Amino acid sequence: MSELSFKAAELDAGDQLAEVRSRFVLDTVSDHAADAAGVYLDGNSLGALPAAVPGRVEDVVRRQWGELRIRSWDESGWWTAPERIGDRIAPLVGAAAGQIVVGDSTSVNVFKALVGAVRLVEERGGDGRDEILVDATTFPTDGYIAESAARLTGHTLRAVTPGEVPAALSDRTAAVLLNHVDYRTGRLHDLPGLTSAVHAAGAVAVWDLCHSAGALPVGLDEHGVDLAVGCTYKYLNGGPGSPAYLYVRGDLQDRFDSPLPGWNSHAEPFGMRPAYTPAEGVRRGRVGTPDILSMLALEAALDVWDGVSVAAVRAKSLALTDFFLECVEAYVPEGRVESLTPVRHEERGSQIALRCSDAGDVMRLLIERGVVGDFRRPDVLRFGFTPLYVGFADVERAARVLGDVLASR
């Protein structure tokens, strides 16, 4: 046993979250020889399947839909699922109940949040604010949507890196759209500091939590974030295409003016009135009929969080990424990869991004050997560390296989 695999065994033995892994469907060591079991390091793209989901989905389909049919809107709680599941996500992102609604994709929610943010500013007079700032390093969809939101609202869009935001803010800024963790590099941005800078400039802060929710503490309420969005299929394990969520801070809800006011957000949805009156509360973030099958799969997936503290998840996430960097240093030939992920814990999300020439081929070989991360053009290997089901022996093995692959090329 090498020194690092010995250390991995020790770290696994002391891991308080180790038993949570059994709540997921994963390759198990008993299925294969220990070294042939897969190591899944792509939970930052698609979380693994929680074991409770298939049975719940079967019940939703066979009993709730198959037998109760339309009665399930009331009797199975379908109608209220978006707010109910929002309240399940709330503690994971530091929000009190009643501020999160689940539904639609992240892209659609970015649109609702950003136009809603601009309208909050206009509603209080606008003060001539005609500019939206967007994270220049953002996941592309947010940038595309921001461009369209700016065009529709007659604002100018300016792309700046999160670090440049404080200097770019002015009395022209209406809203700022930022990613909490950079999807490419895994850099964690300073949500408390940037939110207060945005507020000091009189603007509204919109955060995209796709790569932070479920991986680290967010503290939406504590830090006074105005609006936020996030997906549920990454660290929240909701399944492919599971619905996203929208957070509207409680004291802003009665002024939140959604650009997509569907009948589900009407004060009286079954009144079938020609004129629109928005619902009270966060329900006004809804649009149309919710995607119940995906939404209830997500609800079942959230059971894995029972008794799990986000602080423990964060501590393990940092230990995993630290240990991965230590193993990469030991196993990977000198100079062959360069980490793009910050060394400082305060600036690190839950993934490690390694720049590597021929990264596409390297990732293909890793996947052939059971180590699943992903490749982001042009030259980045991404490895996501999901503390609920990744262990330290997985990390050691992934780095060792990476070292072998790189040494043999």
Ligand X SMILES: *Cc1c(COP(=O)(O)O)cnc(C)c1O
Among the residue ranges 208-216, 262-270, 342-350, 399-407, the one whose residues contact ligand X (CB under 6 A)? 208-216
- Residue 137 touches ligand X, criterion: CB under 6 A: no
- Residue 149 touches ligand X, criterion: CB under 6 A: no
Q: CB of 362 within 8 A of CB of 406?
A: yes
Among the residue ranges 102-110, 193-201, 213-221, 303-311, the one whose residues contact ligand X (CB under 6 A)? 102-110
- Residue 294 touches ligand X, criterion: CB under 6 A: no
Neighbours of 318 (CB within 10 A): 16
Q: Using CB under 6 A, which of 42, 83, 208, 374 touches ligand X?
A: 208
Among the residue ranges 22-30, 76-84, 124-132, 205-213, the one whose residues contact ligand X (CB under 6 A)? 205-213
- Residue 231 touches ligand X, criterion: CB under 6 A: yes
Q: CB of 181 within 8 A of CB of 54?
A: no
Rounded-to-integer distance, Cα 373 and Cα 370, Å: 10
Neighbours of 388 (CB within 10 A): 23
Rounded-to-integer distance, Cα 85 and Cα 242, Å: 12
Q: Using CB under 6 A, which of 5, 76, 141, 196 touches ligand X?
A: 141
Shortest distance in whole angstroms from residue 229 CB to ligand X: 8
Q: Using CB under 6 A, which of 76, 105, 161, 196 touches ligand X?
A: 105
- Residue 106 touches ligand X, criterion: CB under 6 A: yes
Rounded-to-integer distance, Cα 163 and Cα 276, Å: 41
Is 386 in a helix, a strand, or coil? Answer: coil
Identify which of residues 243 and 391 has a Cβ nearer to ligand X in the complex: 243
Rounded-to-integer distance, Cα 324 and Cα 326, Å: 5
Identify which of residues 139 and 375 has a Cβ nearer to ligand X in the complex: 139
Q: Which residue has the tokens 């950079």?
A: 182
Identify which of residues 15 and 299 has a Cβ nearer to ligand X in the complex: 299
Identify which of residues 20 and 236 has a Cβ nearer to ligand X in the complex: 236
Identify which of residues 64 and 242 has a Cβ nearer to ligand X in the complex: 242
What residue type is assigned to position 84 of the chain? R
- Residue 210 touches ligand X, criterion: CB under 6 A: yes
Rounded-to-integer distance, Cα 230 and Cα 181, Å: 11
- Residue 305 touches ligand X, criterion: CB under 6 A: no
Size of the site for ligand X (CB under 6 A): 13
- Residue 161 touches ligand X, criterion: CB under 6 A: no
Shortest distance in whole angstroms from residue 1 CB to ligand X: 38
- Residue 385 touches ligand X, criterion: CB under 6 A: no
Shortest distance in whole angstroms from residue 232 CB to ligand X: 9
- Residue 235 touches ligand X, criterion: CB under 6 A: no
Structure token digits, residue 259: 């650009």
Identify which of residues 189 and 400 has a Cβ nearer to ligand X in the complex: 189
Q: What is the DSSP letter of 179?
A: E
Consecutive H or E run containing 248: strand 245-248
Rounded-to-integer distance, Cα 100 and Cα 114, Å: 16
Q: Using CB under 6 A, which of 179, 294, 321, 386 touches ligand X?
A: 179
Rounded-to-integer distance, Cα 169 and Cα 66, Å: 54
- Residue 142 touches ligand X, criterion: CB under 6 A: yes
Shortest distance in whole angstroms from residue 262 CB to ligand X: 18
Task: Return the sign of the alpha-carbon dihedral for residues 143, 149, 152, 154.
Answer: negative
Region 242-271 residues binding ligand X, contact defined as CB under 6 A: 244
Rounded-to-integer distance, Cα 176 and Cα 195, Å: 9
Shortest distance in whole angstroms from residue 179 CB to ligand X: 5
Tell me the catalytic residues: 139, 208, 233-234, 382
First to last CA, the chain: 25
- Residue 139 touches ligand X, criterion: CB under 6 A: yes
Strand-by-strand arrangement of the 380-384 sheet: 338-339, 351-355, 380-384, 374-376
Identify which of residues 104 and 299 has a Cβ nearer to ligand X in the complex: 104
- Residue 386 touches ligand X, criterion: CB under 6 A: no
Residues 190, 192, 99, CA angle at the centre, nearest 5°? 120
Number of helices (H), then strands (E), in the chain: 12, 15
Is 32 in a helix, a strand, or coil? Answer: coil
Binding site for ligand X (CB under 6 A): 105-107, 139, 141-142, 179, 183, 208, 210-211, 231, 244
